A and B are shown apart, each in its own frame.
Chain A
Amino acid sequence: MAIVKVAFRALHRNKLRTVLTMLGIIIGVGAVITMVALGRGAKAQVQARIAALGQNVILIFSGSINRGGVFTGFGGAGTRTVEDALAFEKEVPGVAAVSPEVRTGGQIMAGNNNWSTSVQGEGVDYLSIRQWDLAEGAMFTEADVRSAAKVCILGKTTADKLFPDEDPLGKVIRIKNVPVTVLGVLKAKGVSMMGSDQDDLVITPYTTGMKRLAGVTTLRAINVQAESADRINDVQNGIADLLRQRHRIQPGRDDDFIMRNQQELAETQNAAAETMTALLAGIAGVSLLVGGIGIMNIMLVSVTERTREIGIRMAVGARGHDILLQFLIEAVTLSCIGGILGIGLGVGGAHLLTTIKNWATLVSPDSIFVAFVSSAAVGIFFGFYPARKASQLDPIEALRYE
């Protein structure tokens, strides 16, 4: 304990120098904490978006086909049918759930309020595929799908716009003049990766959408959920084979459908976020290293300045080991206090970025722990050489030093 006291006193004597040296570590550790928090925050955001997509989801759209030399464009084939969708569920191994999808849009009325939004026709499994929970009410049933029932559930935004002051459950809204009963309201999901409000929609059974609202016979898309992430490829291949077979596409001809696996995109973004975290942490790590060099520099100066003191201590019986420990503890004390203050700075900085810039940050206990341990390690590493130099001084020379 006495040796720690000695270290504190030595640091106290040169307050300005101590503070400046510490500043290197404070900034280094602070930068590491803030940058890692920023990277982690970005990653968490990406992961939240992945979760919002639903797990292991494959989307199948109509492809572009060549009709007499003219491409019809995306969705132009118009070839997705309910039968296709039902066939996946039966015939492709590894499929967990399927939801056929149609989309229309238009004015929706509820009492005196109106709102224009997209109306999605979906299967009963849609919410579980998207991992989307209801805030209140219930999802429509298989029976509703079979009977093309005039029921719907509302996205949070739509519910708020149509029913600002009352509970939408059980109320009737008019979609394109068709009266539809509200069965439930979804929980808010927020903004999508593309920047659109995912909560601004109405969901009806796909049969209702096809027959009563959109008046179409083909699907816009089919949502398919694979049983697990490693089966996504199998399922995609199975679906492709099945569709080519069902649509009688000759080998060598183009598919008349497009499959999208949004997870791939999300994973790329995730990897990008991780790279960014590593990059930011690396840059911040360099500043911590520079802080360490600052400590080494100042400790070398300190050893030179205090050569006489070292001589005195050695003359009265300090072993080399005692001197080494004294200077090492001084360096570590310097870096650890700097580390603690740096953690404060880093956490504060992350908080500030979130409040002012609205950037997502995530300060995790393990990054704090790692930052503190590395600041201590920096102290030991950069303090060791000066301390060893001090411990190896010759007492006679040291006493004579002016």
Chain B
Amino acid sequence: MNAVIKLQDIHKIYHTGEVDVHAVRGVSLEIFPGEFVALMGASGSGKSTMMNTLGCLDRPTRGSYLLDGIDVSQLDRDQLADIRNQKIGFVFQGFNLLSRTSALENVELPMLYTRQRLAGASQRERALKALKTVGLSDRADHTPNQLSGGQQQRVAIARGLANEPSLLLADEPTGNLDSRTSVEIMGVFQKLNDQGITIVMVTHELDIAQYTKRMVVMRDGKVVSDTPVVSRLNAEGELRRLQEQQKEAQLTS
């Protein structure tokens, strides 16, 4: 099986003023279809830089990056934009939805920038399907400010799925959510992963990483550990447990 992501000796050096910041120092990594990877590390560990590189928002200074078999480390701005459009779905910590724009239109956004545009109707159909996948079919006409944080993040996930990418990249997707909603969102990711979607998620929370299948830990620009998740949490089970706890709390009070 071909790797979705194949990094070979990736370096990233930022030239900021007089000092060069060596943010990533030789990372090699392979991620295969169907994997669910948590990219972990403290701040300054280089995980954000890795995220930007993986997301084709930035190019590595050195090393090669094959995404879905395409060497993206040498592409120009426009080509990278097309790769992001076709191959990658983004989910951000701050949701990053267009305000005053309906959920449906937010999900349609990536399709606006596809070179071979779909007809308006099939575009809509696809967006609705993506919203259904994240369980928000009934909120298609709501604007972000009419949705809760969890719902907004679901819309963002649906947007990430819109162009049927090879990879879903999530950057601290639960960072702005309370613990219960975080579990819900992890449930959505687990469900998507069960359907075969490859997910890479940056997080610094260990309990969130427990929902994934593989943990890659970075420190000082290098990968220091790469291990499968042993006691994997199941979001559905956790939710049920949380509900029972809540009931108990209500009974005892």
B78: contacting residue among A9, A312, A320, A399, CB under 8 A? A320
A254 to chain B, nearest CB (A): 85
Name the CB-closest residue of A to B58: A396
A315: contacting residue among B57, B78, B101, CB under 8 A? B57
Task: Decide yes or no whether A17 CB sits under 8 A from chain B.
Answer: no
How many of chain A's residues touch chain B, expressed as a range?
20 to 34
Assess whether A319 is in contact with B110, with CB atoms less than 8 Å apart.
no
Name the CB-closest residue of B to A316: B110
Assess whether B113 is in contact with A322, with CB atoms less than 8 Å apart.
yes
Assess whether B96 is in contact with A314, with CB atoms less than 8 Å apart.
no
Complex CA–CA separation, A313 to B97 (angstroms): 10
Task: Decide yes or no whether B186 CB sits under 8 A from chain A.
Answer: no
Write out the residue numbers on chain A whose beta carbons fall within 8 Å of the beta carbon of B57: 315, 395-396, 399
Total cross-chain contacts (CB, 8 A): 56
Name the CB-closest residue of B to A391: B77
Assess whether A312 is in contact with B86, with CB atoms less than 8 Å apart.
no
Write out the residue numbers on chain B whose beta carbons fall within 8 Å of the beta carbon of A320: 77-78, 81
Name the CB-closest residue of B to A320: B77
Assess whether A2 is in contact with B100, with CB atoms less than 8 Å apart.
no
B127 to chain A, nearest CB (A): 13
Assess whether A317 is in contact with B96, with CB atoms less than 8 Å apart.
no
| Known interface pairs A316-B110, A316-B159, A317-B86; A399-B92 also in contact (CB < 8 Å) | yes
Assess whether A312 is in contact with B98, with CB atoms less than 8 Å apart.
yes
Assess whether A319 is in contact with B109, with CB atoms less than 8 Å apart.
no
Assess whether A315 is in contact with B112, with CB atoms less than 8 Å apart.
no
Complex CA–CA separation, A321 to B114 (angstroms): 13
B90: contacting residue among A9, A308, A316, A318, CB under 8 A? A316
Task: Decide yes or no whether A241 CB sits under 8 A from chain B.
Answer: no
Mask of A314-335 contacts with B, CB within 8 angstroms, 1/0: 1111111110000000000000
A126 to chain B, nearest CB (A): 74
Mask of B56-70 contacts with A, CB within 8 angstroms, 1/0: 011000000000000
B96: contacting residue among A2, A13, A308, CB under 8 A? A308
Given contacts A309-B98, A321-B78, A395-B57, 4 further A-B contacts (CB under 8 A): A9-B101, A314-B81, A318-B113, A319-B78
Question: Taking beta carbons and an 8 Å cutoff, which residues of B are in contact with A?
Answer: 52, 55, 57-58, 77-78, 81-82, 84-86, 90, 92, 96-98, 100-101, 109-110, 112-114, 159, 163
Top 3 A-B residue pairs of the complex, sorted by shortest distance between their CB atoms? A317-B85, A316-B110, A317-B113
Give 23 CB contacts A-B under 8 Å.
A309-B98, A312-B97, A314-B84, A315-B55, A315-B57, A315-B96, A316-B85, A316-B90, A316-B110, A316-B159, A317-B84, A317-B86, A317-B110, A317-B113, A317-B114, A319-B82, A320-B77, A322-B113, A395-B57, A396-B52, A396-B57, A399-B57, A399-B96
